[in-house]
A and B are shown apart, each in its own frame.
Chain A
């Protein structure tokens, strides 16, 4: 069912079993799991069914650390949440992503990949993917295009699947199903203003709700779940300070800390020697019913040996002229490459492999779309964009500020920080990549990262992947995390968190598939162990 919070009689106290705050991918996934169950569920969504500027402005917040766009930019505050502008790229975390890394503090999850795997299987159709296969061999050997032939112990090609654009919005996908659900009610225009507790401050009792027009009521529940993202989850916990001055779950000053993003910027370019490599595998392309996009990354064995975290290298195809700042030196590098290429040809005739024009002709016959993509793969310059898994950093944080929004709730600011480990990761991984593409006879890498360092010590063009994570991190130790392995806020009996704010580390994969899997796991836990 759907209800308009503006029509709920003022000062009503609604009673329910589960109160889910937020109707984004995590909240909707969780709510769907209760459809047909004996439990009553109320979902509180701040927005309506469509984008509304005034509601969106409730998300605004400043940046006091590394430059970051306005906090409302990466998020959307209406039914379906941020999935309404999601890029649709999916891949599960790898086993090593869950493990503690020697020499990198605060790494390691309290759960393993084996704990999450069954939920990944269930998450695949929910995010509207066609397959749960992620191994390179599942998508590559019998198909064209093919990935670059690099040493997988150094630089590996990983596969992502891309959800079709028309299927990415959880709001559009699941509105009908939730409308038909008799035990689930989605309240639109319902802004949760905090969490109230009993006198012990260990049991959440009610959530006060306010609409933009000033209508107010309360929702009482047995269990509460925060699912409003890595910034709003923090905000709600911190403003809930009636009985805990520092906010709920914040007895160790951890709520809002360890903010994670996947920083990205143009870090390098490749000048191909001889025939340009075919890079179509690294652009979105269809295989059967699925859309696939490959990317390059440092291997896990390299990361472990060097004490580094993950680093993805995204190939950006550019068929234009060499960059102006490349200058004469670049010309000499490419010229020198002709020597080395001729030596290589003498030693191993036929390498590097030139693009066979017969293949192009065959592609024209197959499909014009494939042809365009294939030809695009033959480029003069190739940009390499990083997506860094940052080291967990307690100083990277979301915090309350004095300014209030239109509803009177304190706004937040982001103090985004990176560390020396991240800088070392970029430098070492790029050097490895440069060596590997040279060894493979593909070309030469020019690292532009150091030259572009801005005032912050990071490139001026650095942005995030709009992957906001880590601010209510999961740990069995209350001194290391805000929630336990079951997503329950430490020190609270019935307050849980869903979404990417749970992630202790950012992994090398995109977060949506993981947060949906974790929401499924939480739903099982609530149904089987908490509510029964």
Chain B
């Protein structure tokens, strides 16, 4: 197989895997600062991490902080710009609204029987993965 053909096939397989894994191609790669802001949004980090680990176990395809952050940012009004430029209070308010919308849209996950908004569960997962990385 020629190198170009091989690279093309490998990229196709990779894209296909990502598509299957996440249901979509993440639109962008959030910078580390945005990931850090989201992961630090919750005050009770220990509790968030416990819930986050349960989420990652239930959804093993979402084990990358970048992917989780991309999925989170996609649902937040204003997207990356709002997360990057907003104050801590503003980011929390955006997250609160997104979580409320998740509950309205039945965008939920059930972990150990508990019903969570997808956004808050991902937020917890991001916290857990950051802890693990640290």
Q: Contacts A432-B106, A435-B106 given; indicate if A333 touches B93 (C-beta within 8 A).
A: no
Q: How far is the CA of A431 from the CA of B113 in the complex (A)?
A: 10
When C-beta atoms are compared, the residue in chain B nearest to A342 turns out to be B43
B48–A438 contact, CB under 8 A? no
Contact flag A450-B113 (CB < 8 Å), given A339-B44, A343-B96, A432-B106: yes
A438 and B101 alpha carbons, distance in the complex (Å): 11
Give the docked Cα–Cα distance between A331 and B47 (Å).
Answer: 8
How many A-B contacts if CB must be within 8 Å?
Answer: 90
Partner of B120, one of A328, A340, A346: A340
Q: Assess A434 versus B115: contact at CB under 8 Å? Given A336-B47, A336-B48, A439-B100.
A: yes
Binary B-proximity of A430-463 (CB < 8 A = 1, otherwise 0):
1110111011000011111011000000000000
Known interface pairs A431-B110, A432-B106; A338-B115 also in contact (CB < 8 Å): no
Instruction: Tell me how many residues of B have a C-beta within 8 Å of chain A.
Output: 31
CB pair A335 B44 closer than 8 Å: yes
Contact call B106/A431, Cβ cutoff below 8 A: yes
- Chain A residues whose CB sits within 8 angstroms of the CB of B93 once the complex forms: 343, 346-347
Residues in B with CB closer than 8 Å to A338 are: 43-44
A439 and B115 alpha carbons, distance in the complex (Å)? 11
Report the separation of the CA atoms of residues A387 and B112 in the bound assembly, to the nearest whole angstrom: 23
Q: Specify which chain B residues have a CB less than 8 angstroms from the CB of A448 in the assembled complex.
A: 113
CA distance A328 to B54 in the complex (A): 13
Contacting A at CB under 8 A, from B89-113, are 89, 92-93, 95-97, 99-100, 102-104, 106, 108, 110, 112-113
Out of B47, B89, B116, B120, which one reaches A335, CB within 8 Å?
B47
Alpha-carbon gap, A268 to B106, bound state (A)? 18
Which residues on A sit within 8 Å (CB–CB) of B114? Answer: 329-330, 333, 434, 444-447
Name A336's contact: one of B51, B92, B103, B104 (CB within 8 Å). B51
Residues from chain B with a CB closer than 8 A to the CB of A166 are none
Given A332-B46, A446-B113, A446-B114: A435 and B108 interface contact (C-beta under 8 Å) = yes
CB proximity of B125 to chain A, nearest CB, Å: 13
A344 to B117, CA, bound (A): 15
A contact patch SS:
helix
CB proximity to B under 8 Å, residues A114-153: none
Q: Say whether A439 contacts B46, CB under 8 Å.
A: no
Do the beta carbons of B108 and A336 come within 8 Å of each other? no
In the bound complex, do residue B89 and residue A346 qualify as a contact, i.e. CB atoms below 8 Å apart?
yes
- The reply to whether B115 and A444 form a contact with Cβ atoms under 8 Å apart is yes
Determine the distance from Cα of A444 to Cα of B109 in the docked complex, in whole angstroms.
Answer: 12
Note all chain A residues with C-beta closer than 8 A to B100.
439
Closest CB-CB distance, A302 to chain B, in whole Å?
10
Q: How far is the CA of A342 from the CA of B120 in the complex (A)?
A: 14
CB distance from A236 to the nearest CB of B (A): 46
Using a CB–CB distance below 8 Å, which chain B residues touch chain A? 42-44, 46-48, 50-51, 54, 89, 92-93, 95-97, 99-100, 102-104, 106, 108, 110, 112-117, 120, 124
Listed by A's residue number, 25 A-B pairs whose Cβ atoms lie within 8 Å are A328-B50, A329-B51, A331-B47, A332-B48, A335-B44, A336-B44, A336-B47, A339-B43, A339-B44, A339-B48, A340-B96, A344-B96, A346-B93, A431-B106, A434-B114, A434-B115, A435-B102, A435-B104, A435-B115, A438-B117, A439-B100, A439-B103, A439-B104, A445-B115, A450-B113
